[in-house]
Homo-oligomer: A and B are copies of this chain.
Amino acid sequence: MGIIRKTKSVKTLLEVFEQADSALSVVELVERLHREMNKTTVYRILDRLEDDGTLHSFMGRDGLKWYAKCRGCTASQHTDAHPHFQCRDCGKTECLTLDVSIPSVPNRKVDSAELLLIGLCEECLL
């Protein structure tokens, strides 16, 4: 079930993602917003925003959950599949606009794919 009431906390989180240029880990969000809302609230709102097709989530290499804005998804059409890039030095994690063809596997039905690229970001390369 998605968002029904536009509470103060929901608005705050939407604004944070509006201004973010990269993906955000839940851990960072909880820390950054711990004066404005409870960590349980952060988890629950992210959950609902994902159901709505407003956000999408993925796992980083370390097992932490990350969220980022969807481009053109709805609750029924959650098809914004794209790779992500995680910097192994500073941790910065971004959505890539790269198109990746999802390979098919014999005798199996592939519904979705998660491609995480790991390396060094622009700044950490210098």
* Residues of B contacting A102 in the complex (Cβ-Cβ under 8 angstroms): 117
How many identical chains are in the complex?
A: 2
Interface flags, A61-95, vs B, CB<8A=1, else 0: 10101000000000000000001010110000000
Q: How many angstroms from the CA of A107 to the CA of B121 in the assembled complex? A: 7
Taking residues whose C-beta sits less than 8 angstroms from the other chain, chain A's interface range is 20 to 34
Among the listed B83, B98, B116, B122, which residue makes an inter-chain contact with A107, where contact means beta carbons less than 8 Å apart? B122
Whether B98 pairs with A111 at a CB distance below 8 angstroms is: no
Q: Are B119 and A110 in contact (CB-based, < 8 A)? A: yes
Q: Is A11 an interface residue, CB under 8 A from the partner?
A: no
A83 and B98 within 8 A (CB): no
B contact residues around A109 at 8 Å (CB): 119-120, 125
